[in-house]
Structure 1
Amino acid sequence: MACWLMKSEPDELSIADLAAAPATAFVWTGVRNYQARNFMRDAMAVGDTVLFWHSSCEKPGLYGLAEVAATGLVDPTQFDPASPYFDPKATHAAPRWQTVSVRFAKQTAYLSPAALRAIPGLEGMTVLKRGNRLSITPVTDEECRILMEILA
């Protein structure tokens, strides 16, 4: 199993939303970066661990854990002209944006970017690198092991 960090704006989908419906698989919509899309399309597998990160908010950081519930999904927002994620070049015959769904695993203590940088072995995490804006990034096995120990 792999480990991923997935960023979500809490006003769109928060760890509290997942915790409120733990049996529900939430479709991860709105990703419009090809590299992040390719992670979901080509590399994620059911059961992979997700580090749930709140972004574009007052206190960005790690808030909980989820797991990949399904892969190979088509992002429905690409077809909706009323959606901010509408893609006029996407068609049902040739969708451009694939996604996954995630399911709640655990709400954890909040870990800020500064707190993560202070943990030996995590200072190189992709999410902590200057200029990183990807909404989905892989987490190394060692980084995941360290975090699972801390979040246990």
Structure 2
Amino acid sequence: MKKSVKTVTGILGFFMLIPGLAKFTEPFKTYIYYHLTGIGFPFADQMQHVVKFSEVGIGILMLYLAFKGNKLSTSLRNKLFNFGNQTIVIMMIVAVYTHLHPNVPAEVLPMEFKPPIMPTGYILLVVYNFYLFRSNNEKQWK
């Protein structure tokens, strides 16, 4: 991977890992439960753990790809890159929905801010990461 892709991948990894770890502590531990119950997600007790571990896992994966990804085979690295970035998009679509849902008060959202600026920013960063990755790969084949 080129340095630009590694940088954006590392930033995404950091942006997923730190909030994921924060969700294991109060008040974020309670907030994630409120998010899930507020939007009517089934099995909120179990799902809050899936959310936390998913964010931490994807964060670690993206950081690994940023720092050690070149040690992997190209095929595996590309699959993990696509999986990580696509998973972030899915998570952020749910976050946008959560921010916009009328039953979720601003007090339990990150920075107590209702407009989904952070999740939308993450999605745009993933799109940029895919663009960089694709343009770098196309240059290698020419």
Give the structure with the higher percent strand: 1
TM-score by length of 1: 0.27
TM-score by length of 2: 0.28
